[in-house]
Structure 1
């Protein structure tokens, strides 16, 4: 086991404005700044301006910031710059840098951000996570990789099987460490970190230091520089919050009016079944929607998220799997169809909008029975929400989600047999193919009316939807 490392933090002054700084000023090489500029990224966000100088100097860094603050570029640029400064031959199954992420979607997103930058430096990256065949991952590891982006469980399997070794890792990054704790990954993360060199650089990014994250910091980071940019529990100034007090029987109609507006909308439910059922009903009502939850095979999760990101569909119905790290541009509206179980989940869900300085709107649908829960939720989250009692057709709905409504109903099947259900779980599209929205419309049993649309069985403190 790795020796316990001292936890001597050096608080940083992260209030320095990044408006006047460039990435070149921070030490990022020209080959990378040119790639950034080509994608429209020319000025660092505060978390990047704060952490990059220390990370590039080889210091261990503990970065804390709210969701959407730009943490991915902060560590990706540091990792690639340091590896390029000391080129080394690739060795079978022995990556030089390791980035651990809690979910498959986040791992894929990190790799997508990093890929053009790594290519410019002639560095090779790859992802490792569950839900897909292990064979191609084994082949990629065997061919040699510079930066490995991985979820803890599948990487631990490869390490145990001898396909990967972590003794050559120079830099380790833990992204969304508190979410890894929430998902129960910390014991596996600890075992993986113990297999990395004791003198290696460690960068840890986390929204909070609770749930065991501080134990990781104390054990594995040496004299870390702490950079806190924005309180993780502070609301975003450009984000407006509304609570819509509705009758149970009106919830679906109100949601349809919001989701049928132009622009991207993310709708959150508490359960996987709730996301599945609600997606089907929205599609049947004519709303372009796909689902994202842990009961979908990885191919279906990837396809649905890509359809939403590319604009093929405008509404993503998700469990809390999408509450962290999923970065889709121009999400105008977040709707809590089911109020989350706790205030941190509310803030992370809401952070899918108003990202990178953009404005956004957050709406929570609340019935009479949920009023005490929602009041406590907003109080703990520290947000000021405007509460309005309304019915379908209220003018406020067009203020919250402006624009002409577009609805093209899709026919729903009378029933879904076992073969059809198995095909949906595998992520297959069936013989007829079809659009993602059409595929989503056939993934569950016929819709029920009224409160059953949402996660009606969910209650305060209930377990959130799985990955």
Structure 2
């Protein structure tokens, strides 16, 4: 597409002149480029009356605030090629990852910082970053920041920027305190309202499908997930997202999940797999409802209906973006129908509920072509951690021996003898010789398990037992004379001392 979006056409003349601007537009309306272009152009001195900024360590000149890590990452991805062409640098700052790389980037002199409020405030308190040189500040998805409770932090951050700097605020709505933010920090802003959150998208179709029970719902969801194009499935909870992604993958529909319980690395890998098309199904909570842009999402499914109409609109906004078409489906159980009717009415959506079962015509219309099932790959064998808890004879992490440097020697009959290095040297048996106890060979324990008692052990006329509770030690011979009671660990007396772990013969 070569034509500017309405929000860009409306705001660019004013933002390029340095005016404060309030842009109101629904998600997917092109706001990121609307503020990225003037941000880079003015900092690079490419606008009449401006001078290129100087690179100063820990003192950026451009700041973009975003409510989520994913949105911050996507904004940075849009900014970076523009900034690179203008010889400016960009970095992201958000929580959930180590702050050391962020500190290193700031120390090198970063021009534009794209940040989430929480981590940015932490770095400000530590003196890692100063906002005293910021010339342009952008607040993206300001209403979502309000929903997440970030406004107090946003106010503190804005107060740390120079009063004379340019400020741009983009939001779908002005509720929950966003209007107060505008009045306090924007100077005589020019207001441009293109699409509000309630504005319907002409290229988006809405369907409300009712199911009688959870079993039918599961089959319907799987059918909707089985298409050849990209689709996003929204659940109410993190647990449900993880569970559904696993169920679909096991059923031959590869899916990845995205929710707050995932680490940053896993979130980025899963989103990358979905963005590149390696996986066509993303199962997400509302963490993906705002600001996440992936091209050509053809279907959004509300597996669990959202609690309120704004969430419905933002979730649905993952499809029919940038002029593309898309469909939105809400799956409704009988007890949810009344709430869903109220929600769609508040959202300005007209969709008549229709009952469905597997094989229904509307499902075939929504998913005309089913993708070929993909057999799930076998899970990798678990790697047991090294250390005292490592299973004797099992693989150690990173190819290292478990703690204690357990040595393995060839024993009688082709088996192996495992001896903990902490055992007394006098307790070691010659290679190939079976240890004797009271004149009789010691019997191998069932399963070849190695006992790991470290403290003193008691020997008696009966079976010897380790403090770990393992059973199977050879009974002492009736001719063996051993005083009952504790024995000093490591003392060699006839039978091998048993400390740090018994000697066992395999095979």
What interval of TM-score do these two structures reach, taking the shorter chain for normalisation? 0.7 to 0.9
Equivalent position of 1:351 in the other structure: 317
Matched, 1:46 2:6: yes
Equivalent position of 1:159 in the other structure: 124
Write the distance in 2 (CA, Å) between the matches of 1:283 and 1:247.
25
8 Å CA contact retained: 1:262, 1:402: no
User: What is the SS of the residue equivalent to 1:130?
Assistant: coil
Higher normalized contact order (CA 8 Å, seq sep 6+, divided by chain length): 1
1:292-335 CA-to-partner distances (Å, cap 9, x unmatched) read: 00000000000000000000000000000000000000000000
Equivalenced residue count is 381
* Among candidates 138, 150, 156, match of residue 185 of structure 1: 150
User: What is the SS of the residue equivalent to 1:356?
Assistant: coil
RMSD of Structure 2 on Structure 1 (CA): 1.9
Equivalent position of 2:408 in the other structure: none
Matched, 1:59 2:24: no
8 Å CA contact retained: 2:167, 2:186: yes
Equivalent position of 1:252 in the other structure: 218
- The structural deviation recorded for 1:366 is 0.6
User: What is the SS of the residue equivalent to 2:338?
Assistant: helix
User: What is the SS of the residue equivalent to 2:216?
Assistant: helix
User: What is the SS of the residue equivalent to 1:196?
Assistant: coil
Equivalent position of 2:74 in the other structure: 109
Matched, 1:145 2:110: yes
Equivalent position of 1:15 in the other structure: none
8 Å CA contact retained: 1:333, 1:401: no
* Among candidates 304, 320, 340, match of residue 306 of structure 2: 340
Matched, 1:239 2:204: yes
1:165-202 CA-to-partner distances (Å, cap 9, x unmatched) read: 00000000000001011111111111110000010000
Equivalent position of 2:174 in the other structure: 209
- The structural deviation recorded for 1:417 is 12
Write the distance in 2 (CA, Å) between the matches of 1:351 and 1:200.
32
TM-score, normalising length: structure 1: 0.79
Equivalent position of 2:187 in the other structure: 222
Matched, 1:130 2:95: yes
- The structural deviation recorded for 1:386 is 3.5
Equivalent position of 2:246 in the other structure: 280
Which segments of 5 or more consecutive residues in structure 2 lack a partner in the other structure? 46-50, 386-396, 399-507
Equivalent position of 1:8 in the other structure: none
8 Å CA contact retained: 1:101, 1:152: yes
* Among candidates 245, 255, 269, match of residue 235 of structure 2: 269
8 Å CA contact retained: 1:128, 1:137: yes
User: What is the SS of the residue equivalent to 1:63?
Assistant: strand
- The structural deviation recorded for 1:411 is 6.4
- The structural deviation recorded for 1:401 is 1.9
Which segments of 5 or more consecutive residues in structure 1 lack a partner in the other structure? 1-40, 420-429, 432-467
8 Å CA contact retained: 1:241, 1:386: no
Write the distance in 2 (CA, Å) between the matches of 1:191 and 1:318.
31
TM-score, normalising length: structure 2: 0.73
Q: Could you list the structure 1 runs, at least 4 aligned residues long, displaced by more than 4 angstroms after superposition.
A: 416-419
**How does 1:386-425 map onto structure 2 within 5 Å?**
386-410=352-376
